[in-house]
Amino acid sequence: MASFRDSTVVVIETGRTVIRAGLGLHELLKTPAVEVTARVGLRRDALTSGHVPNVKDYLVGTQLDDALAAAADILVSWPFAEGPIKDWVQAEALWKHVLFDKLQRRRVQNESPVLLSIASGLSRDEYERICQMFFERFNVAGFGILERPMGQIYAANSLSGVVVDISQFQTDITPVYEGFIARQARVSTSVGTGDCENYLAYLLRSNQSVLAAISPPEAPLEPQNVHATLVQLASQVWREGHVKVPSDGETAATEDEGVTDIAAVIVAGKERALIESGMKKRATAKASAAEQARARELEALDLITVQFRGQSVTLGKERHRFCEPLFDPTLLRAIPSTLPESTPRSTEVLSWSLQEAVGHAVAQTEVDQRQYIWGGLFVTGEITQHVKGIGIALQSRVAPFLVNPDLQTELQTRAVRVLNVPDYFPEYRDTGNGFAAFLGASITAKITFNDSMSRNFVSKADYSSKGPRSVIEMAPSLL
């Protein structure tokens, strides 16, 4: 059996709310070329008596976006949002759209092997059914499957750690030790970026300048539309990178105390720049005390102006409170229950905080594994592409969960180390840890499909002789 050409390999990362994909593996692994919201739509008039929806009935991608924008009567479903696959026809509709519409594969002569990254914890039956779908419905040339947390920890160049995957609807915490997921220790919380958007939208209600900009007296919004509009503003603000995460562990940047090594400056040919810098400092010093005080006041206010729906909207420090619900879900009690339900959050039972959930998850692992797991705190999810410092903020908050007073041994964990995607993946330098699952899947695909003797994927010959159960042999966690 020959190995596959890198140019034909397809990687599909399936998250709870987003599917990312790419065709071809390169020397410098690239970020995903395709990103599709993992939802499907069904026109209500298609739900006629006795008709069972098929793949062709479902709207996906831009088709669905356009139908919703036109206010069509559409029933929207998220087949992957709850972890296990909720509806197999809906899942097929999404994967088919990615493979054939987005990546332009041809079913009749499909030369592409597929590495599918998907949620952990699926059953043997689900693995077999996925394998059957890709061979029999999509005619793939080979098939491998990878649990998302494993891909994420691989992307951080580690085999042990605790993966904190923040999605729109919830957050998944998965301890990993030496390349194996600690299944009994996995935890999910019901707080995600959707709750953060709702929370910031609620805070912005107190900002009169914001309300005046989005709902001016001459053209006021309907009261029920104000919150939805503020949620859209909150979403734009964090995606544009205007949010910081305060951390107990942050230290102030050291101020420039002047140049002391003059000889080094002259040798480096920087004397002119140094002289000009000194002149600017003297000019600044002559500015009036009132001007300097005003500048300090503006800096302290930390104001920004963003363009939103054709209006200039000025925001202050309240935007930096965006992530607070992750660390203190009780704050969500301040949000009236009359607000639109944009996320599936229960208003009765509040979730654990992120630090409590991580502490609990690691505490469920074997005692002698914990110091290695704490040595790799890896926070991922789309939010990490635009909001920097969540890992550091969480690191400072999990400290109370490290010490076990009943454990008086050398195995006692002393510190938590934060992991990130290494800089030697140049295509991923500006993406935070947001594409970690796709990067890890790409690394796995490159190793798996380049080895003709690999037992980490199912070939067509394997599938022909053994059928769907052949996928179980390449999934050590299921054996």
Task: Kindly state whether residue 411 falls inside one of the protein's structural domains.
Answer: no
Range with top average pLDDT, 151-155, 299-303, 425-429: 151-155
Chain mean pLDDT for the chain: 84
Beta bridge partners of 20: 13, 35
Task: Kindly state whether residue 85 falls inside one of the protein's structural domains.
Answer: yes
Task: Kindly state whether residue 244 falls inside one of the protein's structural domains.
Answer: no
Angle between helices 193-204 and 223-239 (to 10 degrees): 120
- Burial (Cβ within 10 Å: 0-12, 13-18, ≥19) of residue 344: middle
Q: Which of 30-34, 38-42, 225-229, 291-295 has the lowest mean pLDDT?
A: 291-295
CATH number, domain of 473, equals 3.30.420.40
pLDDT number for residue 51? 78
pLDDT number for residue 287? 63
Residues 6+ apart with CB under 8 A from 325: 191, 195, 196, 199, 331, 332
pLDDT number for residue 277? 64
Is 460 a residue whose pLDDT tops 80?
yes
**CA 121 – CA 473 distance, rounded (Å):** 16
Angle between helices 354-363 and 390-397 (to 10 degrees): 60
User: What stretches of 375-477 show up as alpha helix (H) in DSSP?
Assistant: 383-386, 390-397, 436-449, 460-466, 470-473
Domain region containing 30: 6-39+78-156+423-478
Of all residues in the chain, the percent with pLDDT exceeding 70 is 81
Angle, CA of 25, 29 and 33, to the nearest 5°: 75
Task: Kindly state whether residue 382 falls inside one of the protein's structural domains.
Answer: no
Both structure tokens of 437: 């699952």
Task: Kindly state whether residue 232 falls inside one of the protein's structural domains.
Answer: no
pLDDT number for residue 260? 37
**CA 225 – CA 216 distance, rounded (Å):** 13
Q: How confident is the model at residue 251 (pLDDT cuts 50, 70, 90)?
A: very low
**CA 457 – CA 464 distance, rounded (Å):** 14
pLDDT number for residue 319? 92
Q: How confident is the model at residue 345 (pLDDT cuts 50, 70, 90)?
A: very low
Number of Cβ within a 10 Å radius of residue 142: 26
Segment 140-154 shows an average pLDDT of 95
Q: How confident is the model at residue 73 (pLDDT cuts 50, 70, 90)?
A: confident
pLDDT number for residue 346? 37
Task: Kindly state whether residue 321 falls inside one of the protein's structural domains.
Answer: no
Q: Could you tell me how many helices (H) and strands (E) the chain has, helices first?
A: 18, 15
**CA 88 – CA 28 distance, rounded (Å):** 34
- Domain count along the chain: 1
